Chains A and B, each alone.
Chain A
């Protein structure tokens, strides 16, 4: 094993081009577990901690540009207004120690369906900025996940940043685990209201081979909200609409049975979380008509 320590982004890209098998490590919260338990022996480990820009973020007009290595703790502390869903999701990641090291770039790189950031990214709307010596690509996050623990990165590419749409309305994130802290998702659900475009977007975690949006549920809800004039009136969403939304969210799942939970439970729980988080966000929308901080 060789340890690569690029001091700058260009150096990292060059190293990755030269050694496509190099495994990038930032927070180490996934990679080191695999090394400690002898599940993985990469030829090269490439430390990204030295590249300062990966740990920075910038709040723009439309987007937050979040460096790939920004720790979850920073997101909870500094981006609750702009990225309330992601801030909530960040708060459910592992433990305080893990949140001090782990980052959205790591979640994307690992592409585990159980990664906590994914539902928040999917519901907020995000693009993953990846780069290689060949150039820069921006991949819509929906297209980034290509399979269980597989993503759209080419062997010579690295994740540089995520461009996440700033919240224009309330967002929520909810995750089921069988412990009250420090737990991997049995399943998770993210929802974002986008009053600017009068749409609702969702994200489901750990209930299919990849994180995914519950598109049928979104389509149904968007149509129902539009037709009922809910966005203008801010009236209470009818229980039947919420129920149908939940059922469609549940139907979007394609889960498995594993040690963490059954497929049937995952479908069930996603439905419950969809209904509840819709209720919470819509109540916030009615109360304020605008975005609220995630209670991270």
Chain B
């Protein structure tokens, strides 16, 4: 079947989708957006968290056919999404900024990661984690700065979840953070640095206001 939806703004079309495919599979294998991670495919780890019409969901549990006509934001679009939200006074909704765009749907994705990219991040030549060249959202920067990233497999899902929590609750208590992130498993960090990162992002956010 064919599925049309927007991803991080622009409309996308996926063709020849098997009906049993998840949104996660379509993003990763058909749209060239492997940032959402395939850690459990049963909704128990949160690594594939994306925003579906603004709501954080596990992309592995959304059937591809269910996203027809809907808006999806993934970690790849998080920086733009946060920027847009900031420009709109903190009330951007998922994908809304691009919905009126007149561009024709892009051809059905440049799938996956090319081998050159696959050969490694180091080829990009930066060795400090300051994010040069990439504009990051506050939560992304905070994860780097606080040491919340180790293997990084849980990171994309945590970022999408944490960003949405800070949107709703700009000054969360530790218990609020823990509850909001309780659907995102991390196996490397013991969560302490993740808590630090969310606190840091919240603090920077409140300073900026």
Contact = CB atoms under 8 A, between A and B. Distances in A.
A271 to B, nearest CB: 28
Interface residues of B, number: 28
Contact of A97 (B22, B41, B57, B66): B57
Contact of A96 (B44, B56, B60, B62): B56
B43 A47 contact: no
A3 B61 contact: no
A264 to B, nearest CB: 27
A181 B183 CA distance: 8
Interface in B40-80: 41-44, 46, 49, 55-58, 60-63, 65-66, 68
A97 B61 CA distance: 10
A1 B179 CA distance: 38
A32 B22 contact: yes
A98 B58 CA distance: 7
Interface in A213-246: none
Interface in A1-51: 1-3, 5, 25, 27-29, 31-33, 35-37, 41, 45, 47, 49
Interface of A: 1-3, 5, 25, 27-29, 31-33, 35-37, 41, 45, 47, 49, 94-98, 100-101, 180-182
Given A96-B183, A100-B57, A182-B182, 9 more contacts: A1-B20, A2-B19, A3-B65, A25-B63, A36-B60, A47-B66, A95-B182, A101-B58, A181-B179
13 contacts: A3-B1, A32-B62, A32-B63, A35-B63, A36-B42, A45-B20, A49-B66, A95-B43, A95-B182, A96-B56, A97-B49, A97-B56, A181-B179
